[in-house]
């Protein structure tokens, strides 16, 4: 599903316009009167951060020191106390966010928001996220299970005897809208289910599978290939630039070639229809971490020889969907005395709802994540007859179960879920297909119908939660890799540095080995055994890795992980490497890079594609007058997309028009270009082929060529920019078009202006753009507003942890109007960062508030 349709789906949730049906005019007046002027109601959920609180279950005193930004550093004597305190603190600042997430991952949103979220609940229940999480819990190490339980105990200590109005302002607003609700106790499974949502949003190439299939009906294989070009290895280096597989193990200093080229299926019209409906149904699941154009991340690490400090430096900034509160929560978890009973001294970015630190550093090592993006999902077209499905010429019984979805202010919905051996039939979960879906066929109709099953590694239980705490405890490369081996989904690129001066890279994750008939790039025929997964995954030791590479640095930005000679198939759908190559160039140009220079690279706003397209645009002859103003701006533009750049404003309008004029006439709306890195390479290739058929507008009798399309795009842009900004180029600014709007994921989309004003923070002007190192992405189908961005930034100095820096997209608090709700946003927009204090002395000196948690009954 493209972002436009995702947005429309999102707006159809109950916190969209339909939510207003719960709210009368009198209620709106009440909200204005009580919330906008009701300081008491607004401040009631603010947490106590100074003083003492007794908590049952603590074995000893726990100290929580917060700095001016509300970032907590937690000190305890045992792991159980540390995790209990983290759960309590997370709940203090972010419980409503945690509660909404667990309702999403359990397929229970409709209990809170009514019928409008039923499609989302049906899809999540069909995939069975919570059922998988329940099966994962007993697989975990005893220490992980104990930490999850202690964390849950801390959350529940916060909830005990606390009214909804003291938990979150959102509950007060929903209560005024008629919701009668008391939050349930938190459980370890609630934490594990959230990891499924993270895996879903970073799942890989499922949309590309469907798009290739849909394009293949009306276009030749060559035309489809134009839109999915091969990764440009000659221009953009992969992550791992040396090494190969030897006897099943990836050896960083060896060389061994490998290849793979399975057959590809064709499609009929009815199969494409069911795929298109499946795409719509899959799009009903909301984005919690991020999907859509430009989702990715940057991370890199340099060794001491390339660092001004003489020790390694590590940087990371994951690019995820924008929201308020932000996805990350900064925290420090410190055992006062390191021992087997309390082995943690770690600081970094956590997920509210999950114990431990996901990205950060401890006493000995630092690590960062970017999405590896391997192909871990396949869609299977299935031939279904009644309660059976076809496989290898025989009919097999479907696995069928019933679940009840409770619906606020409505009748319970009885959901029938069907599965083949490949996975759940996700095509059943579609309002358009409901008459030919599960219920009709269960009733006994004996007919054949195409359905679509989802095969996804995350639907198989795995001990990913072990990896998080394992990374927190690791003290060297071997322990780091041992922890990473448990990180099954989503598969990530992990960069590494340690206090001994080593740097490294490891690709972990459960990545399937397919049989010969299925290359994973398009939906496969489920009735053919040769299209199955083999039942084996690529062994961890066979996955790419690097340790102290000769060039002295490692860059990961979602580009190809390894070169063409690598044997196992990871994916054909990498990011195309513009960000990664720019980072490499900047590192090579800096020589010995400092902490400040690492931070400067993170906000680099150079548009690599502009250097390709702008010379072509300058060759176009345009009419006189204001039509040439934009072209004159391009002639002087340095290709940097700062917020005040006039050239960037005009260029991006032209780029959007070029995409529309070139491709919209030949594609379904759902396939229209978003403008990301793939389209940069597509257009780079097309610009060298001025008579390519893609330039021609099929809706006209005239045959258009490249220069005509470019001319029309620029003429339209000259009118667009006058309408959107100003007639005078002196008043053109990219940031006036490219705004960072932070919207509350639920009530921020209510359709009720006073309610939205309570929770949203809109209108920040920001530089950067899609496929740029400062990856403030936008969707060419929607406009220029930021759709995803660096969700945080960090630079870790292994020479002095207190010299490290970090920043969050929003702030520590999830409470509207709290001073830490968006206190980091303006710094983030300006490209600045906060000092990241780690040592006990530095934390104490920067502390503003100290909360003592004491054992209680």
Other CB atoms closer than 10 Å to residue 5's CB: what's the count?
16
Q: How far apart are CA 204 and CA 130, in angstroms?
A: 21
**Burial degree of 847 (CB within 10 A; 0-12, 13-18, 19+):** middle
Q: Residues 110, 191, 284, 297: which is the catalytic one?
A: 297
Burial of 338 (0-12, 13-18, 19+ CB in 10 A): middle
Q: How do strand 849-856 and strand 51-56 relate by DSSP bridges?
A: parallel
Half-sphere exposure of 583 (CA within 13 A, CB side): 34
209 annotated ligand binder: yes
Whether residue 180 is annotated as binding a ligand: the answer is no
**Which tokens belong to 147?**
């930490």
- Edge-to-edge order in the sheet of strand 423-424: 399-405, 413-420, 423-424
User: Per residue in 112-123, is it b (16+ CB within 10 Å) or e — as a string?
Assistant: bbbbbbbbbbbb
Q: Is 378 annotated as a binding residue?
A: yes
**62-66 and 313-321 beta bridge pairing:** unpaired
Closest residue by Cα to residue 208 from 576, 481, 483, 461: 576
Place of tokens 């339209």: 716
Q: Is 297 a catalytic residue?
A: yes
How many other C-beta atoms lie within 10 A of the C-beta of residue 177? 21
Judge contact between 634 and 651, C-beta under 8 A.
Answer: yes
Instruction: Give the three-state DSSP class for 771.
Output: coil
- Residue 367, SS3? strand
| CA 119/CA 284 separation, integer angstroms | 6
CA angle 804, 486, 89 (to 5 degrees): 50
- The string over 29-50, giving b where at least 16 C-beta atoms fall within 10 Å of a residue's C-beta and e elsewhere, is eebbeebeebeeebebbbbebe
715-750: b (≥16 Cβ within 10 Å) or e: bbbbebbbeebeeebeebbbbbbbbbebbbbbbbbb
Closest CA to 120 of 64, 200, 199, 39: 200
Is the CA virtual torsion 734, 767, 816, 814 positive or negative? positive
- Using an 8 Å Cβ cutoff, are 778 and 766 in contact? no
Residues placed in the known binding site for Ca(2+): 209, 375, 378
Indicate which residues carry an active-site annotation: 297
Annotated binding site: 209, 375, 378
């Amino acid at each position: 599903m493209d972002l436009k349709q995702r947005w429309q789906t999102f707006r159809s949730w109950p916190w969209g316009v339909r939510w207003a049906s719960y709210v009368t005019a009198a209620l709106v007046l009440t909200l204005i009167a009580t919330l906008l002027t009701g300081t008491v109601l607004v401040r009631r959920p603010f947490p106590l951060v100074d003083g003492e609180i007794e908590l049952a279950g603590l074995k000893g005193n726990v100290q929580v020191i917060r700095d001016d930004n509300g970032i907590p550093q937690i000190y305890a004597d045992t792991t159980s106390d540390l995790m209990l305190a983290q759960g309590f603190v997370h709940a203090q600042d972010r419980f409503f966010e945690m509660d909404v997430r667990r309702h999403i991952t359990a397929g229970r949103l409709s209990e809170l928001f009514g019928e409008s979220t039923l499609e989302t609940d049906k899809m999540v229940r069909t995939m069975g996220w919570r059922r998988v999480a329940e099966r994962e819990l007993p697989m975990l190490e005893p220490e992980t299970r104990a930490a999850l339980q202690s964390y849950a105990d801390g959350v529940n200590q916060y909830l005990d005897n606390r009214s909804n109005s003291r938990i979150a302002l959102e509950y007060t607003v929903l209560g005024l809208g008629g919701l009668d609700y008391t939050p349930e106790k938190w459980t370890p499974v609630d934490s594990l289910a959230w990891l499924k949502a993270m895996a879903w949003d970073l799942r890989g190439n499922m949309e590309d599978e469907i798009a290739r299939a849909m394009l293949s009906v009306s276009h030749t294989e060559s035309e489809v290939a134009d839109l999915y070009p091969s990764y440009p290895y000659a221009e953009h280096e992969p992550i791992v630039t040396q090494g190969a597989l030897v006897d099943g193990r990836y050896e960083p200093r060896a060389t061994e070639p490998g290849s793979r080229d399975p057959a590809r299926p064709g499609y009929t019209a009815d199969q494409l229809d069911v795929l298109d409906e499946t795409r719509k149904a899959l799009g009903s699941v909301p984005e919690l971490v991020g999907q859509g154009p430009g989702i990715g991340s940057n991370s890199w690490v340099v060794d001491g020889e390339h660092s001004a400090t003489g020790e390694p430096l590590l940087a990371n900034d994951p690019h995820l969907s924008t929201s308020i509160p932000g996805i990350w929560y900064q925290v420090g978890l410190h055992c006062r005395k390191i021992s087997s009973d309390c082995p943690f001294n770690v600081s970094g970015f956590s997920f509210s709802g999950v114990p431990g630190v996901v990205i950060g550093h401890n006493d000995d090592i630092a690590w960062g994540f970017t999405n590896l993006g391997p192909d871990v999902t396949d869609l299977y077209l299935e031939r279904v007859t009644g309660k059976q499905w076809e496989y290898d010429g025989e009919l097999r019984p479907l696995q069928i179960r019933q679940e009840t979805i409770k619906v606020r202010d409505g009748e319970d919905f009885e959901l029938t879920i069907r599965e083949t051996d490949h996975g759940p039939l996700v095509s059943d979960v579609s309002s358009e297909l409901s008459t030919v879906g599960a219920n009709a066929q269960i009733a006994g109709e004996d007919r054949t119908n195409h359905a679509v099953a989802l095969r996804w590694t995350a639907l198989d239980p795995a001990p990913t939660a072990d990896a998080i705490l394992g990374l927190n405890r690791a003290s060297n490369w071997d322990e780091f890799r041992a922890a990473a081996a448990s990180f099954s989904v989503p598969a990530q690129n992990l960069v590494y540095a340690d206090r001994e001066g080593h740097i490294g890279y490891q690709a972990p994750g459960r990545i399937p080995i397919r049989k010969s008939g299925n290359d994973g790039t398009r939906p496969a025929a489920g009735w053919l055994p040769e299209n199955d997964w083999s039942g084996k995954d690529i062994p961890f030791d066979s996955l790419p890795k690097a340790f102290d590479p000769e060039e002295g640095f490692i860059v990961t930005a979602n580009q190809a992980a390894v070169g063409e000679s690598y044997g196992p198939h990871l994916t054909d759908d990498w990011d195309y490497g513009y960000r990664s190559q720019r980072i490499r160039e900047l590192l090579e140009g800096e020589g010995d890079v400092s902490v400040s220079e690492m931070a400067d690279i993170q906000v680099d706003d150079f548009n690599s594609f502009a250097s390709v397209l702008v010379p072509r645009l300058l060759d176009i002859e345009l009419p006189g007058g204001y039509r040439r103003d934009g072209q004159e701006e391009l002639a002087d533009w340095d290709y940097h997309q700062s917020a005040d750049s006039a050239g960037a404003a005009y260029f991006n309008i032209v780029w959007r028009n070029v995409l529309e004029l070139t491709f919209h006439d030949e594609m379904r709306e759902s396939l229209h270009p978003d403008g990301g890195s793939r389209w940069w390479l597509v257009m780079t290739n097309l610009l060298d082929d001025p008579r390519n058929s893609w330039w021609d507008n099929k809706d006209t009798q005239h045959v258009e060529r490249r220069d005509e399309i470019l001319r029309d795009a620029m003429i339209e842009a000259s009118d667009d920019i006058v309408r959107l900004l100003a007639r005078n180029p002196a008043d053109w600014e990219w940031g006036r078009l490219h705004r960072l709007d932070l919207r509350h994921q639920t009530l921020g989309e209510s359709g009720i202006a006073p309610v939205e004003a309570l929770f949203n923070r809109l209108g920040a002007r920001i530089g950067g753009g899609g496929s740029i190192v400062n990856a403030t992405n936008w969707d060419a189908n929607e406009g220029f507003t930021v759709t995803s961005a660096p969700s945080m930034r960090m630079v870790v100095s292994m020479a002095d942890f207190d010299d490290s820096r970090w920043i969050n997209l929003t702030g520590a608090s999830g409470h509207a109007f709290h001073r830490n709700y968006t206190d980091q946003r303006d710094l983030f927009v300006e490209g600045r960062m906060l000092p990241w204090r780690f040592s006990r002395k530095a934390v104490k000196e920067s502390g503003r508030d100290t909360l003592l948690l004491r054992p209680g009954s």
